[in-house]
A and B are shown apart, each in its own frame.
Chain A
Amino acid sequence: AQSVTQLGSHVSVSEGALVLLRCNYSSSVPPYLFWYVQYPNQGLQLLLKYTSAATLVKGINGFEAEFKKSETSFHLTKPSAHMSDAAEYFCAVSVKKSNDMRFGAGTRLTVKP
């Protein structure tokens, strides 16, 4: 079965600094990869998703992620962090004709003023 591993349960950056959240996947067939964000006391919201159309995926709020098959990675980046980016971020994977979605353990992003 497919799976994802998020490296780092907690990432702290200064406002204006680069945000890099790491996600590695495991799948025997082409994966569909997602990044979701969860703000405190809210449900999850899609940031972006990879569906094999393009390896560099742009999402909402200035986030983007690059699919690297050779590294089995789908890291999330943002050039300049805002205070409002503080949240929990989840990487997730699914595959076609699958009845499953696997989430990573989440990475909590803290943004310092």
Chain B
Amino acid sequence: DTAVSQTPKYLVTQMGNDKSIKCEQNLGHDTMYWYKQDSKKFLKIMFSYNNKELIINETVPNRFSPKSPDKAHLNLHINSLELGDSAVYFCASSVRGYTDTQYFGPGTRLTVL
């Protein structure tokens, strides 16, 4: 029973394309997050959603947009992909907020050619 799942695991695409990454959690948590991990393993928060409300957007280009159809899902849409978007993207969830333990998905490795 996977707590936080992401699809796809790998995504290879051309510059300029639009792509989506899906995330689902079955933990009943209220808050979900998207992180970007670059090639040097540095982790940066991109978005968090609490009860369908966007809480924070950390200097992320507006080409990135989170979509939450319900509390258990937080999908990431990326328009007009650029080379610099290549990274591993992690979805996570927590009971309430940032002071709670976060449970991470396995990651999606995005490669933009």
Question: What is the interface of chain A, defined by CB distance below 8 A to chain B?
Answer: 32, 34, 36, 38, 41-46, 49, 51, 88, 90, 94-96, 98-101, 103, 105-106, 108
B41:A42 contact, CB within 8 angstroms: no
Using CB atoms, name the residue of chain B closest to A103.
B43
Q: Tell me whether B105 is interfacial, beta carbon within 8 Å.
A: yes
Chain A residues within an 8 Å CB radius of B107: 41-43
A105:B40 contact, CB within 8 angstroms: yes
B106:A43 contact, CB within 8 angstroms: yes
Interface residues contributed by chain B, number (CB under 8 Å): 23
Known contacts A44-B104, A95-B99; A100 and B45 CB within 8 A of each other: yes
Chain A residues within an 8 Å CB radius of B90: 43-44
Chain A residues within an 8 Å CB radius of B65: none
**Knowing that A38-B41, A44-B43, A94-B99 are A-B contacts, what are 13 other residue pairs whose CB atoms are under 8 Å apart, sorted by A's residue number?**
A32-B99, A41-B106, A41-B107, A43-B90, A43-B104, A44-B92, A44-B102, A88-B41, A99-B56, A99-B98, A105-B40, A105-B42, A108-B41
B98:A94 contact, CB within 8 angstroms: yes
Chain B residues within an 8 Å CB radius of A98: 97-99
